A = this chain, B = another copy of it.
Amino acid sequence: MRSYGQYCSIARALDVVGDRWTLLIVRELLLQGPCRFTDLKKGLPGIATNLLSSRLRELEEAGLITREDAPPPVATALYTLSEDGLALEPVLKSLGLWGLRFMTDERPDDAFQGRWLAYAPVWFTTDADPDGPPVVIQVVAADETAVIELRDGRIHTRLGHATDPDLVLDGPPRAVLGLLTGVIDRELAGRLGLSVHGRRDLLTRLQPVTQD
C-alpha cells in the first residue's frame, strides 16, 4: 500500500494494515492460531492466491507474522502472529463491534463459517450474571454448529456439538447471531426463522458489551 505520508499513528497503522484483505488475514490467524496457506484460503472465501501470498509476504516484512517450516508431520509452512500482530486484537474487536450494526442487512449470498459463529459471543458479549450457574448453549446456523459455555464469568466457545445443552438456538445466521449479539430482539429473531429449545430464560445471561 502506498503510504499516506502523515506523521500520525492512525495513518501509519493504515500504512501497514490498510490494504484490502490484510485485517481479515489477521482475523483468521487470531481465530485459528497458526495457519497453513490453505487454512487461510479456506477462511477467506474469495481471496486470490496471488493476493494471499503477497499479503503474507508484506505482513512478514512488517513483522506482524512469522513464517516457519512446520515439523515433519505437517512439512509445510506455518504462519504465526508475532507480538505486534497479536496486538491487533483490540482493533479487530472494536471494528467488529462497530460492524455489528450492519449485520441485520440481508445479503443472502454472504459466506458464513462456523468460526464466525464462535468468536462473536466471546468478543461481543459478556455474562450478565458472572456468579450464576454454568450454562451450555448449542447454536446451529447454516449447517455450522458451535457450543457456547458460560462459566465463572467467562464465555468459552468451540465448534461442534454439546451433550445435554441447557439451550439450543437454531436458525439462519442473521437470526442466531443477531439475537446473541443483541442487534435484534427475540421477536424479530423468531420472524427471521429462529427456533429456541430449552431454557430460553438463560438468553438474558448474554449481554452485548459496550465499547470503552
Contacts and interface: CB of A to CB of B under 8 A. Distances in A.
A113 to B, nearest CB: 8
Interface residues of A, number: 55
B24 A14 contact: yes
Interface stretch (A1-9, A52-60, A145-153, A199-207): A1-9
A7 B111 contact: yes
Nearest to A84: B101
Contact of A4 (B14, B46, B97, B212): B46
Interface stretch (A15-23, A65-73, A154-162, A187-195): A15-23
B46 A14 contact: no
A134 interface: no
Contacts of A124: 9
A96 B7 contact: no
B6 A110 contact: yes
A208 to B, nearest CB: 12
A181 B126 CA distance: 31
A108 to B, nearest CB: 10
Nearest to A141: B7
Contacts of A111: 5-7
B10 A110 contact: no
Contacts of A12: 99, 102-103, 105
A6 to B, nearest CB: 5
A116 B7 contact: yes
Given A91-B91, A98-B91, A14 B23 contact: yes
B103 A9 contact: yes
Given A23-B14, A95-B14, A103 B45 contact: no
7 contacts: A5-B110, A9-B96, A9-B99, A9-B181, A12-B99, A14-B23, A91-B95
The 10 A-B pairs with the shortest beta carbon distances in the complex, nearest first, are: A13-B99, A9-B99, A7-B110, A12-B102, A10-B96, A9-B96, A7-B112, A8-B116, A90-B211, A90-B94
